[in-house]
Chains A and B, each alone.
Chain A
Amino acid sequence: MSRVRYGSRAVNRLSRRRVLAIAATAGVGVSVAGVTGLSLAGETSAKDDGQPLVISLRDASKGTFDIFSGGSKTTLTDKKLAARLLKAVKR
């Protein structure tokens, strides 16, 4: 698994977050953790594990994911995870 960091949060913290559902398509994927909305745009706490995560499978063939959390975007590559997700949505 390779990682690229854009924000302050590392991908290996993913398992500690409340990712409630994951769906993916071959080109574009979406996953949502439905927690609370933001009180003011841009004003979020980096320490709040209860905040939502959105995961986008940007390139299914390469297994490239974008993970959006708070004000950051992190990119990771995981072909096996991409394959599992595609299988889950019968793609």
Chain B
Amino acid sequence: MSSHREAPEISKDPVADSSDLYAFVSPDDPDTVTIIANYVPLQLPASGPNFFEFGDDVLYEIHIDSNGDARPDLTYQFRFRTELRNNNTFLYNTGQIKSLDDPNWNRRQFYSVTKVDAHGKSTVLAAKLPCPPCNVGKISIPHYESLAADAVKKLKTGEKVFAGQRADAFFVDLGAIFDLGTLRPFQNKHLVGKTLFNYAGKAVNATDKLNVHSIAIQVPLSTVRRGGKKAVRGRDPGAVIGVWTSASRRQVQVRQGDKKNTDVEVGPQVQVSRLGNPLVNEVIVPMAQKDLFNSLPPSDDKRFAGFVEKPELAGLLPVLYPGLFDNLAKLVKAGTPRADLVAILLTGIPDGLIDNFQNTTGSTKADMLRLNTAIPPAKDPKAFGLLAGDLAGFPNGRRIEDDVVSISIRAIAGVTFALVDETFKPDAAAGLVEQGLSIKNVSSGLLKKFPFLGTPFDGFDNP
């Protein structure tokens, strides 16, 4: 998955587990960037009586680097607080919920938004914004869409925010991929699969009909760009921003048992989850270092660069699909560092490799989602993003509909290595390989405006 349960420790702490990060120039307001950080992954819609929520004891952050040093120049912090209306019921709602302040809604969650500048100065932008309820079912919440829309708030400083449950729009054939790297459309070409199948299979979206909790913010481009520029040229280094999200917990927690309200949480925040580009910690970083990766800032990512230069998966593809990746096998055998993957994942793509495009942030190697903010939203977005000539798509930021799994597999398989070595001829299979899914396999669909992710699946119809 993109980053659902991607490391041993955070897989046991779903409330703090970042699962996906999106950053794109907003199609509904092209003078802004939309950033969405998903947490609490893999939610079954029918989850009463204790429906999913953010952690009151977790600090959620979205960081933006505007000068390429892999350190935040702007951070938005989100802190949550849960309130009970009625201490004498076991119910989430004691009747229908028709508004965000409906007295029938027993367990509500609120959040604050704090802006931290490059000098560490904090400003609380909003103190008590409401999250929408979880989508219990149409009996409890007859008009969920309008209720959720009411939870979109515009701040006085220009940002638009939303925090709450959404349908997970990430699409991945998880069951097949982690069953020895099987891609169902190519299952009959797989080392083991060819002994079981004589036909191409149809991919299954393992994350369909599951929900997540999303923190979404839409920020004016002039707020995130270096120097506060309202307009920049695509070649201007100041056009590119780096984005990542993190979750942290207090270093010390003391539980008091029955005296629950006296539990103690003190000490510095300790980062437990981090996400920039999809699949980096999941597929690139070895299991023994995944928890370490989650604890460190992007500015320390030089230590992981070796795994990007020589990704394990590049060596596995020729073995798992015999005869399809012979050129890749030679490249791996030669031990040539994958400068293409370093550019895509750690430094950004410099000017000159792709016509009219760059999203480099300089030489600092750091896992950040890099977005050239001068590139407007595509009128006809392509699922394969940059690989399909769509400059507004991954790895230029990441849109919800981008097929980041297939893009990443093709890149690792060698299609992008030709960008840095003209003598390299990618295998034919490298340009064809895909997981066999698209945004059409996400049952919820997407919204046409902020926060874009679809209405969460409800518990009544998705038991």
Q: Which residues of A contact B (CB under 8 A)?
A: 6-7, 30, 32-43, 51-54, 56, 68-73
Chain B interface mostly helix, strand, loop or mixed?
strand
Per the bound structure, the CA–CA distance linking A11 and B265 in Å amounts to 19
Closest to B56 in A: A41
Tell me whether B254 and A37 are in contact (CB under 8 A): no
Closest to B268 in A: A73
Tell me whether A43 and B112 are in contact (CB under 8 A): yes
B333 contacts partner chain A, Cβ-Cβ < 8 Å: no
Tell me whether B252 and A7 are in contact (CB under 8 A): no
29 interchain pairs (CB within 8 A)?
A: A6-B268, A30-B254, A32-B264, A34-B256, A35-B262, A37-B262, A40-B79, A41-B79, A41-B80, A41-B250, A41-B265, A42-B79, A42-B269, A51-B266, A52-B254, A52-B264, A53-B266, A54-B264, A54-B266, A56-B252, A68-B267, A68-B268, A69-B267, A71-B266, A71-B267, A71-B268, A71-B269, A73-B251, A73-B268
Q: How many of chain B's residues have a CB under 8 angstroms from any CB in A? A: 25
Tell me whether A34 and B267 are in contact (CB under 8 A): no
Per the bound structure, the CA–CA distance linking A37 and B79 in Å amounts to 15
Closest to B253 in A: A54
Per the bound structure, the CA–CA distance linking A6 and B81 in Å amounts to 27
B87 contacts partner chain A, Cβ-Cβ < 8 Å: no
A79 → chain B closest CB, angstroms: 23
Q: Mark B46-82, 1 if CB is under 8 A from A, else 0.
A: 0000000001111100000000000000000101110
Per the bound structure, the CA–CA distance linking A36 and B263 in Å amounts to 8
Tell me whether B79 and A69 are in contact (CB under 8 A): no
Residues of B within 8 A of A7 (CB): 268
Closest to A69 in B: B266
Residues of B within 8 A of A36 (CB): 261-262
Q: Mark B235-261, 1 if CB is under 8 A from A, else 0.
A: 000000000000000111010100101
